[in-house]
């Protein structure tokens, strides 16, 4: 991989809040870190329309929360290979990078949605309620993984 996103966390500033995104075909799950970067908190789920509309909402959230970097879940196949969803995620990142002057890094999101769904089932959350929150919880799960790595590197 020889693009601007080659080293996932290298360009993340040492301080400041980070936004995590779980990019789906119909929604974007959004989470943010606390200022000390100990925990990721689910923020909202954006219903996807057109890129420009989605990006406007992300711009607002970035400004409201003083975000310094973005972690974008990368939907690799289980064997680590890249499929069509990875290509669309990379295209989204390239388009977003033209709008926001923030570092954008990828984080392996394999199993994030299934892990979050499993937790919600164990917590006996109703199916309709799970559908409402799964994307922002998956974004939180992705961001927490990156925060843990950043803290230990």
Provide the pLDDT confidence category of residue 1 given band limits of 50, 70 and 90. Answer: very low
Question: What pLDDT, on the 0 to 100 scale, is given for residue 83?
Answer: 83
Question: What pLDDT, on the 0 to 100 scale, is given for residue 111?
Answer: 62
Query: Does 54 map to a domain?
Result: yes
CATH code assigned at 127? 3.30.420.140
For residue 39, what are the domain limits? 17-151
Residues 6+ apart with CB under 8 A from 112: 22, 73, 138, 141, 142, 145
Query: Does 8 map to a domain?
Result: no
| Token couple for 123 | 């917590």
Residue 142 has φ and ψ, to the nearest 5°, of -60, -50
Residue 6 has pLDDT above 60, yes or no: no
What is the per-residue pLDDT across 55-73, written as a single tens digit (0 to 9) for each?
Answer: 999 999 999 999 999 999 9
- Complete DSSP assignment for the chain: --STTSSTTTTS-SSSEEEEEEE-SSEEEEEEE-TTSS-EEEEEEEEP--HHHHHHHHHHHHHHTTEEEEEEEE---TTS---HHHHHHHHHHHHHHHH--S-EEEEE-TTHHHHHHHHHHHTT--HHHHHHHHHHHHHHHHHHHHHHHHHT-
What is the per-residue pLDDT across 74-110, written as a single tens digit (0 to 9) for each?
Answer: 988 778 788 888 999 999 999 999 999 999 999 888 7
Query: Does 21 map to a domain?
Result: yes
Entry pTM: 0.84
Question: What pLDDT, on the 0 to 100 scale, is given for residue 2?
Answer: 39
Question: What pLDDT, on the 0 to 100 scale, is given for residue 10?
Answer: 79
119: phi > 0 → left, psi -120 to 50 → alpha, else beta; which? alpha
Query: Does 2 map to a domain?
Result: no
Query: Does 12 map to a domain?
Result: no
Mean pLDDT of the chain: 86
What is the per-residue pLDDT across 36-54, written as a single tens digit (0 to 9) for each?
Answer: 999 999 999 999 999 999 9
Question: What pLDDT, on the 0 to 100 scale, is given for residue 144?
Answer: 93
Query: Does 29 map to a domain?
Result: yes
Q: How many domains does the chain have?
A: 1
Distance CA(143)–CA(122), nearest Å, equals: 22
Question: What pLDDT, on the 0 to 100 scale, is given for residue 14?
Answer: 87
């Amino acid at each position: 991989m020889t693009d601007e996103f080659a080293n996932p966390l290298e360009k993340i500033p040492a301080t400041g809040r980070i936004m995590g995104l779980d990019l789906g075909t119909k929604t974007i799950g959004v989470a943010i870190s606390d200022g000390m970067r100990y925990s990721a908190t689910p923020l909202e789920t954006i219903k996807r329309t057109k890129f420009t509309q989605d990006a406007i909402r992300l711009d607002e959230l970035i400004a409201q929360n003083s975000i310094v970097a973005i972690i974008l879940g990368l939907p690799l196949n289980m064997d680590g290979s890249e499929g069509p969803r990875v290509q669309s995620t990379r295209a989204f990142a390239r388009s977003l990078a033209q709008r926001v002057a923030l570092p954008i890094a990828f984080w392996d999101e394999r199993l994030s949605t299934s892990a979050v769904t499993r937790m919600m089932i164990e917590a006996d959350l109703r199916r309709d309620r799970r559908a409402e929150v799964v994307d922002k919880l998956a974004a939180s799960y992705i961001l927490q993984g990156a925060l843990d790595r950043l803290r230990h590197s």
